[in-house]
Amino acid sequence: MGRLEGKSVIITGAGSGIGRAASLLFTKEGARLIAVDKTEGVKETVEQVKQAGGIAEAVIADAGSEKDVIAFIDRAVATHGRLDAIWANAGVSGGLVPLAEQTVEHWQEVLRVNLIGPFLAVKHAIPHMTRQQHGAIVCTASVAGLKAGASGHPYAASKAGVISLVQTTAYSLSGTGVRINAVCPGLIETGMTRPVFERARERGTSDKIGQLNPLKRAGQPHEIAAMALFLASDEASYVNGQAFPVDGGLTASMPYTGKPV
């Protein structure tokens, strides 16, 4: 029996990177998946899942649109009869624009996808899960939501908001049997971060990627997916309202020289 055997699960941002890795891992563990992304890449993800023997359906949708969120949650319930877990993973980086040059429109779009998107997933998953008196919600935050210096301003603010959303929602769901937690990735090689890795390789400094964390390397999407799998599974039945860094130890300390002590 897989850790998500027979469970109805939704993953947003499933077209690439962490979402694709999670789609493959969750379905390997028995999940019946609705894979959501705004790009055609989600169809490739689902094809890979099916080739591996998993059960998945692709839905092209905008995770920051309430109409779309209602539709793909209803799709999961109609297809599988229930909703056991949802991972609000879709996000955008927002880039590194100097603060004085940032626009209101730029902030609004980053917050719409990164923070309002998880809010909508929570809002519309809750009625189904509370009726069942069981369910797991996972949101993708970031180490940038925990400490400064890891990203641009709107991205960091949006991810700090996700952490607060998780903490406050855990108490809003008191007594319902529904859990909510966040994963806070460090530097992970995905489509979103690819420019960072490509620039380092062009400069011949790829060996310095991840040098600020004790493991001295960047992470891979499957390492984030593994944490989310645990949080979505019944193994995490007493884990609630938490934000878990998966960052090679980056946030475990103040900045340090890297020398043994």
Q: Which residues are catalytic?
A: 155
What's the full length of the chain, in residues?
Answer: 261
Structure tokens at 137: 């919600």
Structure tokens at 261: 């002590």
Q: In what order do the strands lie in the sheet with 8-12?
A: 55-60, 32-37, 8-12, 85-88, 135-140, 178-185, 243-246
Answer for the pair 209, 215: CB distance below 8 angstroms, yes or no: no
CB atoms within 10 A of CB 51: 9
